[in-house]
Structures are given as structure tokens and as C-alpha cells.
Structure 1
Amino acid sequence: MARSSLTREEVLAAAAGLVRQHGPPALTMRRLAAELGTAVTSIYWHVGNRESLLDALVERTVQEMGTLRPAGRTPVTRIVSVARGLRRELRARPHLIAMVHERGLTERMFLPAQQALAHEVHDAGLRGSRAADAVRAVQFHTVGFLLVERNRERSPVQSPAEGDLWSTSTAGGDPALARALARPADQERLFVTSVRALVDGLLVVGGPPGVTAE
């Protein structure tokens, strides 16, 4: 029996769930109706046709990406928290992010994260081009790190594997380094370590040689 009470948000949430799990091709009006236990005509009434539904999903994703909030007591901690939140949100919805990109809304999607970063680097004393460089460096590092993660996750089984390649000799006589590199990377820890090092450098008073505030 079809559901008599259904909201637009419920339709969008169910559609987003299908896309997250199976990708955009899995999102059909019939499958969505079955997921919600309602009639296809009810889906059309709430969101229009499939293209309208995809547009609404993109807009919903853009809005969700605008909910990042910094946490922590120091500028470095707060900036790192924004980067971690951005990576987490991007990882959670790759298919939806791809849809946003295909519709030319990527820059708009990133704006809230950029604004949060700008606020934090301002509080840390950066202005002008130095502040802009800091915002973009954190954003680019986060997105680039995520792309490397996905590439490693999707790559075929490696033979030899990374752990097979490292020994004391290949590590320059450093057995501890060899053992560490032979283990799978702790991606979350590596991300935090790398972005923290980046932010520490960006917030150094005076900045790198030749860089001045406007």
C-alpha cells in the first residue's frame, strides 16, 4: 500500500542514499518509489522528473557541505578541524560530489569551507594574498590527499606489495623506517600530520621568504 504522507525531504534523503550506495545510474523513479513504499506518481508530485530530482540532490549536497564548523582552541587546531571535516564530507558522498562537479557547482560547494578557513586564518593574523594562499593550500591539500586515497583504494592488487619492497637496504639503513613503510598507512593520522605541518608553516609570522601581506 502506498504511503499517504510523504515529504520532499524524505524523497531527497532516500534518493541521496541510493546514489551514495550505488551511483547515479541506480536512481530511477520506480526504484525510488519502491524504496519509499509509495507510488511513482507521488515521487513526481514532490520532486518533478528525474532531472529535477538530480538538480535538487545537487543543491541539497551543496547545502550539506556548508555545515562545516571549526573546533578547537588554537588557530592550527581549528583550521585542521575544518580540513578534517571537509575530507570526511567529501569521502562520505563521492557520487553526489561528482554530480555537483558535472553541473558546474564545485566552486560554490567549496565556498563555505573556504569562508571558514578564511575566518580562521584572519584570526591567526594573515591578510591579503597570504590569507588567500593559506585558504587555497589547505583546500588543495585536502582534495589532493582524498584523490590519492581513492586511487589507492581502487587500484588493482599490487605485486609486489608496498610491504614487500621495504627493507633496511631500501630504507637507507633505517630498519625502523622500513618497518613503518611496510605497514599499511594510517590515512587519518597521516592526513592530520600532513595538514598540521602545512598549517604550521603557513601561519609562521612573516611567512616564507619573498611572501608579504597586502
Structure 2
Amino acid sequence: MSRQTGPARPSLTRDDVLDAAAALVKQHGPRALTMRKLAAELGTAVTSIYWHVGNRESLLDALVERTVADLGAITPGGRTPAQRIVSVARALRRQLRDHPHLVAMVHERGLTERMFQPAAQALVHEVHAAGLRGARAAEAVRAVLFQVVGFVLVERNRERSPAQHPGDQELWDVPAAEHDPALARALARGPQPERLFTASVRALVDGLLAGD
């Protein structure tokens, strides 16, 4: 009599390997991605990982290529070029915040500019629709990209920083805010990143599209 076994495990695919690798990197960073740990996550042998993706360097290359492709999927939304530019900026910020370790890995392998190219091309289309051409259009595209990246870096730095003493609540009283009580209350509450980001990008875009 044959021994009863459980359901057969579906065959491992290259996409399965890349999904598991991306999850490890997203959770623990690129250094946590070892072939042995990946095989353990997938419940398979290390040799099976090699068969699907090659060595660790080949795995990293494949993961970076897929990350670049995934991060490039940005569809503008809105009725006007200005609204669509802001929507691209907001989508790019979300992507960078949602995949910090994967973005860092792309940067370390020298593919940052390629990663940003789809977003840049979407911005080019919208600044052309707004009537900008040549150097002014290039300046607008780069200004928006720099704003997004700079804002995300400041956000990440604030999130990783130790608790501040004194904090905003202690620092901002009515005299410090030049006797503007509403300003003092708002500054004491600390920043609201999503709202602040949208407001700053809108102001930047309005200025860029208005010209001199």
C-alpha cells in the first residue's frame, strides 16, 4: 500500500523566486538577501534557486530590472497639465516611500536615472502640454523630480531621527510665532507630510508654469 502524501507543491517559477527576494529586501534590506535564506523562505534547495536565476549577482540584476519596471508604471491623473504633474509627483513619492530598500538597491547598481526615466517622460509630456519647451521644460521636469527626491529624503531622515527635546510643541508658543496664535498652534502640531508635500509641489508647479 502506498504512503499517503499531501497535495503536491506547485512548481517553483522564476517569478516566485523574484517575489520572495523582493519581499526579503523590502523587509530587511539587500544584505539580508542570501541564496540560503531565500531557499528557506521558498522551501526549496539552494540549487533550485541557482537554476532559476543564476548566482546572487544575477539575482540582484534581475530584481533590479523588475523593480525599475515596476516603479516606472505611473499614470498621470487630472484635468489640467498642472494637476497631472502634481499627480505624477505624488505617485513617485509613494513609490519611493513604499520601496526604500529596493530603491536603494537600484541606486547602488547605478540605475537611478533609468528608474526615474518613466516619471520624467510623463513630466515631459505634461510640461509640453502646458506650453513649455526647451530649457524651460527641462528645468521644470528636473525641479519636480528634485522636489520629490529631496522631500522623501527629509521625511526618511525625520522618521529615523531620535525624539527631539524640546519638540515642536515646546518650541512654538505665541511669542515665538510673532504673536500669531494660529501659526503657533499649527507649528506646534508638527508637519503633516502628505499635505505639506502636495502644497509645496503645487506651489512649485504653479510657479514653473507661470514663467517669468
Query: TM over 0.5, yes or no?
Result: yes
Report Cα offsets for 1:103-127 as digits up to 9, x if no partner: 1111111111100000001011111
2:51 to 38, 45, 52: 45
- For normalisation by structure 1, the TM-score amounts to 0.93
Identify unmatched segments of 5+ residues in structure 1.
209-214
Identify unmatched segments of 5+ residues in structure 2.
1-5
Q: Please give the root-mean-square deviation of Cα atoms over the aligned residues, in Å.
A: 1.3
| Partner SS state of residue 171, structure 1 | coil
Paired with 1:61 and 1:172, the residues of 2 have a C-alpha distance of: 48
Corresponding residue for residue 25 of structure 1: 31
User: Match of 1:62, as an amino acid?
Assistant: V
**Alignment map for 1:11-160 (pairs within 5 Å):** 11-160=17-166
Corresponding residue for residue 205 of structure 2: 199
Paired with 2:75 and 2:43, the residues of 1 have a C-alpha distance of: 35
User: Match of 1:160, as an amino acid?
Assistant: P
Paired with 1:78 and 1:39, the residues of 2 have a C-alpha distance of: 47
The structure whose Rg is larger is: 2
Report Cα offsets for 1:41-76 as digits up to 9, x if no partner: 111111111111111111111111211110111111
User: Match of 1:79, as an amino acid?
Assistant: I
User: Match of 1:26, as an amino acid?
Assistant: A
Alignment: residue pair count: 206
CA contact (8 A) 1:18 1:26 kept: yes
Relative to structure 1, the CA distance from residue 74 to residue 136 in structure 2 (aligned partners, 3 Å threshold; closer, same or farther) is same
Corresponding residue for residue 161 of structure 1: 167
Residue 29 of structure 1: how far off its partner (Å): 1.1
Paired with 1:28 and 1:177, the residues of 2 have a C-alpha distance of: 51
1:178 to 181, 184, 197: 184
Runs of 4+ in 1 over 3 A off after TM superposition: 1-4
Paired with 1:198 and 1:110, the residues of 2 have a C-alpha distance of: 19
Residue 162 of structure 1: how far off its partner (Å): 1.5
Corresponding residue for residue 189 of structure 1: 195
User: Match of 2:139, as an amino acid?
Assistant: D
User: Match of 1:72, as an amino acid?
Assistant: G
Residue 33 of structure 1: how far off its partner (Å): 1.3
Paired with 2:150 and 2:19, the residues of 1 have a C-alpha distance of: 28
User: Match of 1:108, as an amino acid?
Assistant: R
Residue 184 of structure 1: how far off its partner (Å): 2.7
User: Match of 2:176, as an amino acid?
Assistant: T
